[in-house]
Amino acid sequence: MTSRATRNPLQRVLVPLGGNEADESALQLACDTARHSKAPVYVIFVIEVQRSLPLDADLVPEAQRGEDILAKAERVGRELDYQIETELLQSREVGPAIVDEAMNRGADLIVMGLPYKRRFGEFTLGSTFPYVLKHAPSPVLLIRTPEDQAHDL
Could you tell me the CATH number of the domain that includes residue 120? 3.40.50.620
Residue 2 lies in a domain: no
Residues 6+ apart with CB under 8 A from 58: none
Residue 18 lies in a domain: yes
Separation of alpha carbons 5 and 81, rounded Å = 25
How far CA 76 is from CA of 23, 55, 67, 71, 133, in Å, comes to 10, 30, 14, 9, 26
Domain that holds residue 79: 9-152
The pLDDT score that the predictor gives to residue 5 is 46
The pLDDT score that the predictor gives to residue 7 is 60
The pLDDT score that the predictor gives to residue 126 is 87
Residue 91 lies in a domain: yes
The pLDDT score that the predictor gives to residue 153 is 53
Residue 1 lies in a domain: no
The pLDDT score that the predictor gives to residue 123 is 83
Flag residues of the chain having pLDDT under 70. 1-8, 149-153
Question: pTM of this prediction?
Answer: 0.89
